[in-house]
Amino acid sequence: MTSTVRIELPAHLRTLAGVGREVSIEVEGTATLRSAIDALEARYPMLRGTIRDQVTLQRRPFLRFFACQEDLSHDSPDTPLPDAIALGREPLIVLGAIAGG
Amino acid sequence: MSGVRVLVGTKKGAFVLTADGKRKNWDVSGPHFGGWEMYHLKGSPVDPNRVYASQTSGWFGQLIQRSNDGGKTWEPVNNKFAYDGIPGTHQWYDGTPHPWEFKRVWHLEPSLTDPDTVYAGVEDGALFRSTDGAQSWQELSGLRKHGTGPRWQPGAGGLCLHTILLDPTNPGRIYIAISAAGAFRTDDGGETWKPINRGLHSQYIPDPNAEVGHCVHHIAMHPSRPNVLFMQKHWDVMRSDDGGDTWQEVSGNLPTDFGFAIDVHAHEPETLYVVPIKSDSEHYPIDGKLQVHRSRTGGNEWEAMTRGLPQKDCYVNVLRDAMSVDSLDECGVYFGTTGGQVYCSADAGDSWSPILRDLPAVLSVEVQTLR
């Protein structure tokens, strides 16, 4: 089973990966945060380490995951993403904190 | 024709400044990686067009960029800095054990002989090496594991490994420094290490003469005399004539011996430069006067270099990696400030002029002499 997940990236990561606001990623198996980010990093290796720590695979503290108007940041990375995300009707949003100087 | 390329890392991007040997008219390229903290950029002495850059962000972590054309174009390379084995703990600010966590790369030091070999000094204090042009990184964990690691404590800026000096006459010898652990040396290419802090005296730590725990801000070396080291410590300017085995204070007549940057003239190994900063609680020059102090006697006797530098209402800092020298016939000296100025002296410090005045806060300045 393969699904196409749309992922919306913060501006700096769009620049880094050389993509627009949103990318579409083919995800093998059940679409979860882990499998979606795995697939994103496989397609765009320069994003490795920018969303999750390379060693611990923990989400970076100043980034959050939103989907279908829900904050998924504290969900298990293996929880299946909502159907609307797995079916590509809505994007998974990687959002940077509005903070800093 | 000879010229210079100045690699400037700032809090909001990198800039590449180039000029011919007169160092009067500058071409400015940048910002590269706009919006990112560019901690350090440095070119390979073997292939000056090979430049490595540390790109970091509180949001997106650490990236390493590599250029093969002198900073015109860049490609992201490997950014996985995994500590060797179970990292254990160092001390936290309150003296409790704190797990070792990778945060960022403070300093990149390309090899003197191979453009694909580069060292990275990281926070939390560790040294990594790549031998494949930064496609992969391995920790030289003998440093962190030599015994004193659990006693290391971060300085105000973090537990950062900020200085890496490669001995041009002895491929096995490397000096490094960590705030606030101190200076360390290996004589076998990074396998084994020892602290080299004898003679340092730091009143702000429980044992002022401790083996480790000193807040070393930066160390400089002249390549013709790799046994002679000059150190700007948190307070005190120090000198070693025996490869760091012992240190003597050479602050002499400096108006304050607090500061961050220190460097050595390219052709005069006894000519040093520091930027005295008022204190560790203020972090700006005395009386609003920005002065580089030069010693032509290897320390102790210092003279203020002020021509062309602001002598009133100047309250900037000059950070530890923000001073560099070129090796043209008349040695050029460069430094950047937290106010965004980059100054150049084309006459070994006698007079100064700004290359740029309005950059983001400058984190690092490195100069390449192009022939």
Using the Cβ of B86 and the Cβ atoms of chain A, whether some distance falls under 8 Å is answered with no
Sheet holding B292-295, edge to edge: B262-264, B272-274, B292-295, B303-305
DSSP H stretches of helix in chain A: 11-17, 33-43, 83-86
pLDDT recorded at residue A101: 61
The yes-or-no verdict on residue B271 having pLDDT over 90 is yes
The yes-or-no verdict on residue A99 having pLDDT over 80 is no
Which residues of chain B from 27 to 56 reach within 8 Å of chain A, CB to CB?
35-36
H or E element: which one contains B183? strand B182-186
Using the Cβ of B82 and the Cβ atoms of chain A, whether some distance falls under 8 Å is answered with yes
In words, the CATH class of domain B3-370 is mainly beta
What are the chain B neighbours of A55 within 8 Å (beta carbons)?
80, 82-83, 102
Q: Which residue has the tokens 């000296």?
A: B333
Is A62 within 8 Å of B35 when comparing Cβ atoms? Answer: no
Kindly report the nearest CA distance between residue A48 and chain B, in angstroms: 8
pLDDT recorded at residue B1: 62
How many Å apart are CA B173 and CA B164, to the nearest integer?
11
B11 burial class (0-12, 13-18, 19+ CB within 10 angstroms)? middle
| pLDDT-derived band at B280, boundaries 50, 70, 90 | very high
The yes-or-no verdict on residue B28 having pLDDT over 70 is yes
How many Å apart are CA B252 and CA B303, to the nearest integer?
11
Average pLDDT over residues A90-99: 92
Cβ–Cβ under 8 Å, residues B348 and B265: yes
The dihedral through the CA atoms of B283, B359, B8, A61 has a sign that is: positive
The yes-or-no verdict on residue A7 having pLDDT over 90 is yes
The residue count for chain B: 371
> Which of B11, B38, B59, B63 has the most A C-beta neighbours within 10 Å, making it the best mutation to test the interface with A?
B59
Q: Which fold has domain A2-96?
A: Ubiquitin-like (UB roll) (3.10.20)
Average pLDDT over residues A6-24: 97
Chain segment B33-75, per-residue pLDDT in tens? 999 999 999 999 999 999 999 999 999 999 999 999 999 999 9
Q: Where are the domains of chain A?
A: 2-96
Residue B9 is given by DSSP the state E
What's the complex ipTM? 0.94
Cβ–Cβ under 8 Å, residues B201 and B209: yes
Cβ–Cβ under 8 Å, residues B141 and B86: no
Pair of tokens at residue B262: 């220190």
Chain segment B202-248, per-residue pLDDT in tens? 988 889 999 999 999 999 999 999 999 999 999 999 999 999 999 99
pLDDT recorded at residue A1: 83
Region at B87 (left for phi over 0; alpha for psi -120 to 50; beta for the rest): alpha
